[in-house]
Amino acid sequence: MAFLERFYPDEYLDSAYDIDYEKLYKQGYRGVIFDIDNTLVPHGAPADARSIELFERLRAIGYQSLLLSNNKEPRVKTFNDDVGSQYIYRAGKPAVGNYVRAMERMGTTPETTLFVGDQLFTDVWGAKKAGIRTWLVKPIHPKEEIQIVIKRRLEWIVLFFYKRSERRKQWR
């Protein structure tokens, strides 16, 4: 199963809103890269009060942030206009290049950057290849495009082995 480990997140939580960003800042993290759709809001939805509040909180803590999306600019820019972050659209995840570009724009390094997303094969895998600590969160809403639905089926297999390995670690 070593092949599958390349897709394992460093952390797996129900929501991007459950992460203890204050604690991570104290540990030296200074930048957060986020996926948007089904990570922060349902697919295609505008920024809501909860997402706007999260970005205000991150700024108050001292974080730099960046939205990294495979979506087109109108979608990403509209969301960003409400949350006030930086963004890269048509990011080509899981390719590493725009993860590196995101860190350059935030002035962070892989050791001081976090990534939060809802997909293993794009979000998490790309961030891991860039050396960034990853948080996989459960999708906010079940309605997704067909190509994502197909990937989710494959993700279930990876997550099965990931959860099994995490349980084994607890017993050691």
Residues with Cβ < 8 Å from 111, sequence gap 6 or more? Answer: 28, 131
pLDDT digits (tens, 9 = 90+) for 50-100: 999 999 999 999 999 999 999 999 999 999 999 999 999 999 999 999 999
CB contact at 8 A, 7 and 157? no
* pTM confidence score: 0.86
Domain ranges of the chain: 2-171
Query: Exposure of 92 by Cβ count < 10 A (0-12 exposed, 13-18 middle, 19+ buried)?
Result: middle
CB contact at 8 A, 118 and 34? no
Per the structure block, which two tokens stand in for 49?
Answer: 């009060």
What's the CATH class of domain 2-171?
A: alpha beta
pLDDT digits (tens, 9 = 90+) for 6-35: 888 999 999 999 999 999 999 999 999 999
